[in-house]
Structure 1
Amino acid sequence: MEVTYVLVTIDQIAKYVGQEVKMGGWLHNKRSSGKIQFLQFRDGTGFIQGVLVKKQVEPEVWETAKQLTQESSLYIWGTVRADERAPSGFELDVHKIEVIQIAEDYPIQKKEHGVDFLMDHRHLWIRSPKQRAVLKIRAEIIRAIQDYLDQHGFTLVDPPILTPSSCEGTTNLFHTKYFDEDAYLTQSGQLYMEAAAIALNKVYSFGPTFRAEKSKTRRHLIEFWMIEPEMAFVDHERNLEIQEQLIAHIVTHVLNHCKSELKTLGRDIEKLEKIKAPFPRITYDEAVELLHKEGFTDFKWGEDFGAPHETKIAESFERPVFITHYPTEIKAFYMKPDPARPEVVLCADLIAPEGYGEIIGGSQRIDDPTLLAERFEAHNLPKEAYAWYLDLRKYGSVPHSGFGLGLERTVAWICGLEHVRETIPFPRMLYRLYP
């Protein structure tokens, strides 16, 4: 009577030491010493080496293994063996192979490939160990964010992707037609989340946002994902505390759940282990002074920081740093001016260490209906498009705050990646809409 094997996955292999198992997956690589074949096997959950000894397997099994090409799909049967020398800690003594498909010549080889080539083959590149590790870490970062917010009383609310107006003005937005009306792909769900916070107290959204910026920097994507919490009865100071606690929670979660992936990426985890709340804080004024001392003597008060400025500021800190109280004129219309100094607003950008730039932007929102109406006039915003938003200040306005966390920049920082294009499965960038 033939034995029936349960299909197991590599991430669960530790449970089956000494047992016969069956796995489905793909050949990642192979090598041979003549009498032994070593099959690098992956199944999407991990990688394991399968060992075939010629004198211990049937001749047809040996010949089948010899015919396998990179990324051929197959089932393998074998005995799980613990091995401290193996990257996963385990190997598989293979005794049977069933080919599903012999793959054609795989375009991605061990040799160096150009970025454009790899991006053109992104649908295949994500199978590689490093790209898989990034996507696994991305998933765990998402899990950590949602776990933290769900456990701290936040309700998930989904704002619309098609909007009749923008959050911060219609520049850099993708325009489309909504039947006979103008519409835009959202750049932020924040305004809608403010409405939701009045209904549900603490809320957050998690979804795609779009910026039609013709930027080619390593920090920018055209389509990216944002987590946007909004909180009633929360002031500027409490807003910062929630942000730093969330970031500290994310990093701790990744350190606890992604050890092998961080190792695959060669990430210096000592730097991540230093990420503990509270985070340092400096004002915009202090940041300008720091830049002047560091040689940026042409930077003028009232200008916004660019990537070189944020990188230089971050070099002074081992943890993320808040830059608070930006000039009112360079920030969004909805940010509340500091009552003690109206030329600056109660806001903060959180700058990641190691040159990764801003990962969070947040503020206390204007709750006074008269002041908000004045800001509308100053920014030339069409009141008819925002009538519903103005209603929020007419019917039970309260102090409230919120922030937006950019997922891809956070992933890039935690993974130690050079460019955000590797932080999302299929990046949308300037001049890239394929695959």
Structure 2
Amino acid sequence: MKKYVSILLDIELKIREGQYRSGYKLPSVRDASELYKCSKSTILRAYAELERKHAIYSIPQSGYYVVENPSDVHHSDISDCVDFASASPDLNVFPYLDFQHCLNQAIDTYKYHLFTYGDSQGLETLRHTLVSHLADTQVFAKTDRIIVTSGVQQALEILAKMPFPNGKEKILVEQPSYDIYLRFLEEESIPVNTIARTAEGLDFHELENQFKQENIKFFYTMSRHHNPLGISYNTEERKTIAALAAKYDVYIVEDDYMADLGVDHLVDPIYAYDQTEHTIYLKSFSKIIFPGLRLGVAVLPEILLKAFSSYKRYVDTSILSQAALDIYIKNGMYERHKHTISKLYSERVRILNKAVERYNQTGYIQTPAATSGVYTQFKLPRTVNLERLVHSLNARNIQVVAGKGFYLSSYREQEKFLRISISRAQPDQIDQGVKSIIEEVSKGNWY
């Protein structure tokens, strides 16, 4: 047996038996060569093979560490409550050990520079890293077109307030849409037009008419894994939106907050079909890593940079978090965790779909055929009393969110539905949760 293979097998055994646990720092190349009585090149070959197998990872100028193993992590207690309401990632799959290493490495690398005011556009090294990171999803942009924001919400608020070169004033929003942004638009009394989006899609004739006649500054849309519907545009729909934006000088604000989840990440964003620089591309890192990171990215047309920067004005995102995210992406940890959480969510969606198929024989609810992401819609008969239904489900320890909050308060054509999220619903709870929802709806005392 070749020496590097025996070393590799020995380290794998130590990991499997728990001697080298999650986050454990392996011996340095020098120490390992002395331990195994071999050359440094042999150790490097063994470590490289372990990296390729995703058993360990390296942090430049720090060393090699054991990849986080879910069985080593102290999982939070899973209650009897079925959580179909939370939009946050599952606490039990947070990559906190990996990210802890990145934070430590960031401090070692940048030292006191992390605690200065920094650049309002974002840490330059992170923006350079984001150039190639975004290019993987067909978002090609130079460093100076990328601005790091305090989550996607900050970018959305700035875009709503700042002037646009088309001189128009109204924002076109889908109904339903992202609830927090809708409340912001209402509170700020920003002129808004609406367009219905349902599980069947969008009326593109109406979209064109609004672009043509309604003084639309920009159209805010979620191209994939829509919140709350869970649906995505197909390729032709994305191309159509880009073409209409160019034809009528309307900007598109593409909130691609779940760009990395599921098979939909293989479909190019609207941004990729924009030939006239009318698309602002937004991406969040909250749904992949954790919400507390509060980091998002905005890719802007050059003509909008000056106005956006003047409204942003100051550094409002942690430079330490930015530096750690930079290292997290460069080391391949982000990519690995993305695949982990995407697979996890896809399996939960599969379980959900199977449960709906099993218990919804009489068709009390209607739901899109989602295959990935975290959201789906349980559309209900219009006569259902949503408040009573939600209250009854809470009494059965099932948390859901009523669809009413995802509409502007003035919008009258609301569908009655529950937004179902699987991000924190445990696989062994999903089946029973769906069964209970359908039982409650089928009782018929909500009408």
TM range (shorter): under 0.3
Q: Which has the higher strand share?
A: 1
User: TM-score, normalising length from structure 2?
Assistant: 0.23
TM-score, structure 1 length as denominator? 0.24
Between Structure 1 and Structure 2, the one with more helix by share is: 2
Larger radius of gyration: 1
